[in-house]
Amino acid sequence: MKYSVAWLSSAERELTTLWLDAADRNAISRAAHAIDRQLQQDAHLKGESRHGGRRILNELPLVVSFRADPTAAVVLVSQVWAARKPRK
C-alpha cells in the first residue's frame, strides 16, 4: 500500500537542528530521505510498534516516531532524534 508522508513542523524543526549540529550533514540528509522512501510503501508494517498506534523506525543516524493511517494512506512523522551510539 502506498502512503503519503508528512512531517509535523516540530519534527521538521528537530531534523533541522540535528542537521545543523551534525558532524556529517550528508548522513542526516541520506537518512531523512531513506525514511521518507521507506514510509511511502507499507508504512503500517515498518519499524516497531509502540503504545497507542505509534511506531518507531531506525535509519541510522536517525530514529523517527510516526503513525500510519492505512484508511487515509497517510503517514505522520511526529518526532525525530539522533540514534544513541552503542555502549562498549
Domains of the chain: 4-82 (3.30.2310.20)
Note the residue count of the chain.
88
Q: Which three cell numbers stand for residue 50?
A: 509502540
DSSP state of 72: T
For residue 70, is the peptide bond before it cis, meaning its omega torsion is within 30 degrees of 0? Answer: no
pLDDT tens, the chain, 88 aa long: 999 999 999 999 999 999 999 999 999 999 999 999 999 999 999 999 999 999 999 999 999 999 999 999 999 999 999 998 766 6
Please tell me the distance from the alpha carbon of residue 36 to that of residue 59, in angstroms, as a whole number: 10
One-letter amino acid identity for 25?
R
Phi first, then psi: give them for residue 6, nearest 5 degrees.
-130, 145
Does the pTM surpass 0.95? The reply is no
**Nine-digit cell at 78?**
511526529
pLDDT at 74: 98
